[in-house]
């Protein structure tokens, strides 16, 4: 399955942001430090995932 590193980064950003937002919303209110944590989770999830290259797909052996 071929997934571009852009989509991989978008999914990582959404998932990490949603996890941070879910934690922040446990008490029903989002404070300024929690907002900063959500933003950092989104940026970190997208940035680190985008920086790691996808693994090269092995070439099929025509003899098999």
Structure tokens at 53: 């290259």
Structure tokens at 43: 């940026």
Residues near 21 by beta carbon (within 8 Å), at least 6 away in sequence: 30, 38
The model's pLDDT over 12-56, given as tens digits with 9 standing for 90+, comes to 999 999 999 999 999 999 999 999 999 999 999 998 888 887 777
Query: Rounded distance, CA 53 to CA 4, Å?
Result: 9
Structure tokens at 40: 């950092």
pLDDT of residue 29: 93
Residues near 50 by beta carbon (within 8 Å), at least 6 away in sequence: 5, 6, 8, 9
């Amino acid at each position: 399955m071929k997934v571009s590193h852009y989509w991989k980064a978008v999914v990582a950003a959404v998932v990490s942001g949603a996890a941070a937002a879910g934690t922040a919303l446990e008490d029903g209110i989002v404070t300024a430090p929690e907002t900063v944590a959500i933003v950092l989770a989104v940026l970190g999830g997208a940035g680190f995932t985008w920086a790691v290259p996808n693994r090269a797909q092995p070439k099929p052996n025509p003899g098999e």
